[in-house]
Amino acid sequence: MEERYREIQPALRAEAGEIDRKVSVSRKRQPVRIACNPCREKKRACNGIEPICGQCKTCSLACSYRIPPKTVDSTIRIQKQLDTLQHKFNHYADIIE
């Protein structure tokens, strides 16, 4: 009994602008700038989505992010500047009236 195989043909070239749908390009996962506390402790891959990341959502964990110290200091500094400017504004508004 003789088996007959189909003749192999060269693949057709995609025309200009046509995308070859068979080839999939895998992207590298973008690193997350700040991981949540549970993912940081367990060394899991956190996706960084707030208010609850994918890992915490899947495991039903309380997801929380730590605030970097620089952010706290700059927030206090900006709040002080705002208070000073509001005080000056009120002072000048009183003078104009």
Determine the pLDDT at residue 69.
Answer: 65
Mean pLDDT of the chain: 83
Domain count, the chain: 2
Residue 50 shares a structural domain with residue 38: yes
Contact residues for 46 (Cβ-Cβ < 8 A; gap 6+): 32, 35, 36, 39, 40, 53, 54, 55
Are 61 and 72 contained in the same domain? Answer: no
Residue 51: domain span: 31-66
pLDDT band of residue 87 (cuts 50, 70, 90) is: very high
Neighbours of 61 (CB within 10 A): 17
- Does residue 10 sit within a domain? no
What is the pTM assigned to this prediction? 0.42
Mean pLDDT, rounded, for 2-12? 81
Instruction: Decide if 61 contacts 41 (C-beta within 8 A).
Output: no
Round to whole Å and give the CA distance between 97 and 94. Answer: 5
Condensed to tens digits (0 to 9), the pLDDT of residues 19-54 reads: 555 556 677 777 777 899 999 999 988 998 888 999
Q: Is residue 94 part of a domain?
A: yes
Extract the tokens encoding 72.
Answer: 């706290």
For residues 75 and 59, state if they share a domain. no
- Distance CA(62)–CA(56), nearest Å, equals 7
- Whether residue 83 is contained in a domain is answered as yes
Within this chain, do residues 60 and 71 fall inside the same structural domain, yes or no? no
